[in-house]
Structures are given as structure tokens and as C-alpha cells.
Structure 1
């Protein structure tokens, strides 16, 4: 009787895990990703996304931390793979204009086949008291918005993510702060 109960519990645990969606970590950067190196090092956007998307998936899964290491056995779970393609943000917090994160998201079945793909771009000016927030804090707001979008996208196959329009301030900031390249720094 005890063996039968144990087998039943193990089967239930496997079935529950198989219907879950897990974020594949670490989140990576696309080879051609546009991001300021200082912001990449200081803000660690990949960790922001992991800490914003992982808990959202854990809530959908009703347990666990919502993540799985790249290459680990998914035990039949669906995987969410994120790749950062662009980060708009330089030092200076809200004073240097709006911040944005753009990611590609792939939902993969347990065999690695892509079930769905989307591109997400979220902007932030920092919200209330944005002028007093740093670049990383403002980018974290974008990561949180991406987490909310992905929770709905993963849960509802008919949901289409609509990318936000570029804020008017972004165009002005791009003109006011030209891109610095290694050739221009000397």
C-alpha cells in the first residue's frame, strides 16, 4: 500500500511538472545586441530578466522557482528562452532620456522545437519620481513589464504582444546624446 501511494505521488509530481513552463537560464545576449558596455556590466540586464520572469512562471506553475539551467533535463516541461537584442540606456538615469529593453522570446517544447516566437520591446521613463531614479532602476521597470507580458503570452497562445511606441523623449535623447564609439572617445 505504501509503495502504491509513493508511486501515485511521484506520478502526480511528474505530471504537474510536465505541464509547467520554465525560463531557461542564463538569459543571453544576441551576438549583435546593441547595449552600452557600462550599462551591461552595472545593470546585469540578464539577471534582471531572470528575477522578473522566473517568479512569474513559478506563479503560473504553482511552485518551484520558474527557471531551469540551459542543458538540464526539462522532464517534459515547456521552455521559455529569452535573448536580449537591444538595451537603450546610458548612465544618467532619467536625465539621459527613456530606457528600453528588447528581447526575443521563444517557447520550446520538451524536444527543443520552437512552438511560438515573439519580440518584446518595453520602454520606461522611470514612473513617479523617475528623475530621482538611476538607469538600472528604470531598466528594471522595463524588465518587470516584460515579465508581465510573458506571463500572459505563455499562458494564452492567442495573446499577441504589441510593442510599445517609442516615447517622444527617446527621439530627442537620441539627437542630444550621439552614440559614443571607440573611435570617437579619443
Structure 2
């Protein structure tokens, strides 16, 4: 199998961390693809009609896309327990919250990098950051207990989302007022799989 990915993508990083945590690197090769909403790479378009990454090319079926679909598939393939039955819907909700942080902050990045300066909207950027900031604060206030205990996909997703904020929007200082989450992230991002996938 082959994973179409780009190292800075937080969505791709979720999958790349999972591959390392459940020992699937010998079964899934990583192929770096340079793609954007304005210029989709042919490989990405062939795998996903939206041209987005990550996409997982399989030998025995059509390509899978959307990071949450890929992570569920690989979790099952490995016989892992990153989506435990006992807290499945909590893990899925927290993973969705992390993905929403990624979506908002990637949109902020695209606004600055892909639109001409005269067309950029500070209001749009601020609105996207408000979404991300509310989600980060909600995790700190209500979800910390779910970030502890055996490894699950919500933990990976949250850490990848926060690391992307640091990468592209470090001046926003998400740690301010989110002390518990900041302390957790300092520990989690030291994991070998996180360090190996750091863009």
C-alpha cells in the first residue's frame, strides 16, 4: 500500500503517526506529494476526486481518503485498539474536534499563502482562529481525562492539530489559558512517532 502525503499536513501526520505507533510502516510506503487547492497534484486527483491528501492506495480495492477513514481502516488492519469500544464515541468526537482545529488553521494558512494580499481577509482569518481557539479551550476544559490512559486516536489527532498550530500560527499562543492541555502536549509530542513525523 502507499500513502500519499505531505509532511506539513496535520491530516497526513495523523496517519503517519498511527503507522509508526501500530508498526505498519513495513506495509505502507509513504509518498510525498506537493498539492494545493489551486493546483491539485495528478497523483492526488487520481486517488481522490477532491485532490486532497492523505489518500491511501490499496492493492485490493479503491483508494481511501479522508484521514478519519484511513485511520479507522489502518487501525482495523493492524488489530490495534486506537478506537476502543468502551469510549468509541468520545474518541470519535475528540478526533473530530481536533480535525476541526486543523481545518480552521489550514484555512488560515491558505488565506495568506494562496490569495493575493489585496484579496486576503483579516476578518476571515480571525473567524477561523476563533473556531480553533474555542475548540482548544473546550479540550482543555472538558476533555483532558480522555487524553490520558492507553493510546487512542483522539490523542494522536489532538497532538497533531496543536503541533500544526505551532508550525503555522505560533504567534497565536494557544497555550495561554490552556495550561493542562499545554502540559499534556509537551509530554505527548515527545513520543518517538511524533518526533519522527515532525515537519
TM-score bin, normalised by smaller chain:
under 0.3
Q: Which has the higher strand share?
A: 1
Q: Which has the higher helix share?
A: 2
Q: Which has the higher contact order (CA 8 A, sep 6+)?
A: 2
Give the structure with higher Rg (CA).
1
